[in-house]
Structure 1
């Protein structure tokens, strides 16, 4: 299974807004494209992340656990990005040469 950080951000936006359309606006993507990405994620997971109840969207039990884990992944990715941005111009000393 390969999920991108972008897909995780899309799913989190839906979970936070409770609405595909509002999440699409936040993510600067069309609603059909957002729906397609979520369907792809759900296919990879083998189970729905969201219960689509007419105009209402709710996380499934699997979706709740998935979102908790996705939040941690995204928080760590954001922290790594901030760390690397702070190191701009600083030589990398992780590995000693020769």
Structure 2
């Protein structure tokens, strides 16, 4: 799993919408859902639950997203520290 995929999960959980997360991240809702589903299988716990046509974050999903925010912040600090340019290692998802 890379930082990009972690952010798919983060925004799906925070926005409680695969469509909105996909729009924000410029990917399809199906790509977001696939990463969420793969991560749920890996963790053995649901990150989201279906509520009609929308999704709702589980308590595990909210905690997972909180950790992803911390990882993303640390990643951004690392990229700034390393003074990496656009299209570099950090842009490619490390």
- TM-score (ref. length: structure 2): 0.80
Partner residue, 1:48:
46
Distance in 2 (CA, whole Å) between partners of 1:63 and 1:28 is: 22
1:75 CA displacement: 0.7
Higher RCO (C-alpha under 8 Å, 6+ residues apart): 2
Unaligned runs of 5+ in 2: 85-94
Unaligned runs of 5+ in 1: 87-98
1:5 CA displacement: 1.0
Q: Number of residue pairs matched?
A: 85
1:79 CA displacement: 0.8
Aligned-CA RMSD value: 1.7
1:76 to 68, 74, 90: 74
- TM-score (ref. length: structure 1): 0.77
Q: Considering only CA atoms, is the larger Rg found in Structure 1 or Structure 2?
A: 1
1:63 CA displacement: 1.1
